[in-house]
Amino acid sequence: MPLNRRTVLLGLAAVGGVSAVNVGAFLGAGGWFTPDTLTTSRFVDRFEQVFGKHDGFRRNHAKGVSAAGVFTSNGAGTALSRAALFQRGTTPVTARFSISGGMPTVADANSTVRGLAVLFHLPDGAQWRTAMVNVPVFTDRVPQGFYERLLATQPVPGTGKPDPAKVAAFLAKYPETARAMAVISKSPPSSGLYNSPFHGLNAFRFTNSAGDTVPVRWTMMPEEPSQPMGAGAAPGKDYLFDALVAKVMQGPVHWRFLITVGEPGDPTNDATTAWPANRRQVEVGTLTIDSLQTEAPGNARDVNFDPTVLPDGIALSDDPLLAARSAVYAQSYQRRTREPHRPSEVQVGQQPSGPRITKVDHEQ
């Protein structure tokens, strides 16, 4: 075919077409043409919409304190998983206590969900990261439910309470959340962070050295007696954290690490449903927290407690929350690491008791 005006124009049109498809596909992969898809950015935007944007802080569990200690394994876990953590011996941990919600200076409240996140530093650079909460089941089965619940339960200006109509519509759409809330209301929170149980809730799979795999969930059970919260005088703004600081100043605080082994038929993809109470539980060792630190560069403040960071011997289940948590935590981490940081509400090392206002007075 000779080169003429027509073939050149056709050729250029073909090149333009291929390039347009190329660039279009790339932008499409980045979510440009699908504004209704729930992307990680949109998920994190929802936290900011509901809780406000607080530079440098986690988009959820924003208020917290860094901790350190060790895990002492009794060796019993090796029957379930070949992860080095379960060999008899000790493993250093970086941890973080938190309360849920995206407001870093919110006042502590009994009903607010409490968190304990742990990073086990295994030999040879391997890690296990887990983030647990004090409630016995999770409120949502699927990520979309969590996303919609954030908005449906947002307090309305004026009443300070969620709009009952929105909540009802939400619960009708996600009945598993209504069932989970009923279960949660039957186990009232303990009097402090130091005597709270913390549950992993999502199911995982453990594989031992023989290659046998079982579904598991886990719980940190406090050694301090779990008293229910007493009705007393109005507590200080950070009373949960202040009591934790006071306790750890007196000496190390311990939790027994319990692994619950699921049986065939137990749901592994539904964190809103507890497994039957008679499931085998294996006590694999003790978590000891012996120091707390104000959130600062290099400590737990800067860790993304992504529950999908697992060592060999522990693997993900089919729970859809796990993949979502990894994606959303990474996006929250991306944003907070790029922003300026302000001091955290919970300050360790000052006199932990007494109303905070006196401390401010001292500083002035």
Which option in ligand HEM, another protein, none does residue 96 bind, with CB closer than 5 to 8 A by kind?
ligand HEM
Q: Which of 75, 155, 228, 298 binds another protein (CB under 8 A)?
A: 298
Which option in ligand HEM, another protein, none does residue 29 bind, with CB closer than 5 to 8 A by kind?
another protein
To the nearest 10 degrees (0 to 180), the angle between helices 175-185 and 164-173 is 110
Q: Which of 84, 118, 122, 133 binds ligand HEM (CB under 6 A)?
A: 133
Give Cβ neighbours of residue 69 (< 8 Å, ≥ 6 apart). 92, 93, 95, 252, 287, 288, 289, 290, 291
Residues 94-133 that bind another protein (CB under 8 A): 124-127
**Of 238, 242, 239, 244, the residue nearest 224 (C-alpha):** 244
Angle at 131 between CA 128 and CA 132, to 5 degrees: 125
Q: Which of 86, 120, 128, 138 binds ligand HEM (CB under 6 A)?
A: 138
Cα(221)–Cα(32) distance, integer angstroms: 46
> Is residue 61 annotated as a catalytic residue, yes or no?
yes
Q: Which of 81, 329, 348, 352 binds ligand HEM (CB under 6 A)?
A: 329
Cα(94)–Cα(215) distance, integer angstroms: 26
| Token pair listed for 147 | 């996303």
Q: Which of 56, 63, 64, 222 binds ligand HEM (CB under 6 A)?
A: 64
Cα(298)–Cα(62) distance, integer angstroms: 17
Residues 16-35 that bind another protein (CB under 8 A): 18-19, 22-23, 25-26, 29-31
DSSP 332-356: HHHHHHHS-----S--SSS--SS-H
Hey, CA dihedral for 201, 324, 334, 341, is it positive or negative? negative
**Which residues are catalytically annotated?**
61
* Contact footprint for ligand HEM (CB under 6 A): 47, 58-61, 64, 96, 98, 115, 117, 131-133, 138, 143, 146, 200-202, 271, 304-305, 321, 324-325, 328-330, 332-334, 336
* Contact footprint for another protein (CB under 8 A): 3, 7-8, 11-12, 14-15, 18-19, 22-23, 25-26, 29-31, 37-41, 43, 124-127, 143, 297-298, 302-304, 306, 308-309, 311-312, 316, 320, 322-324, 326-328, 330-331, 333-334, 337-338
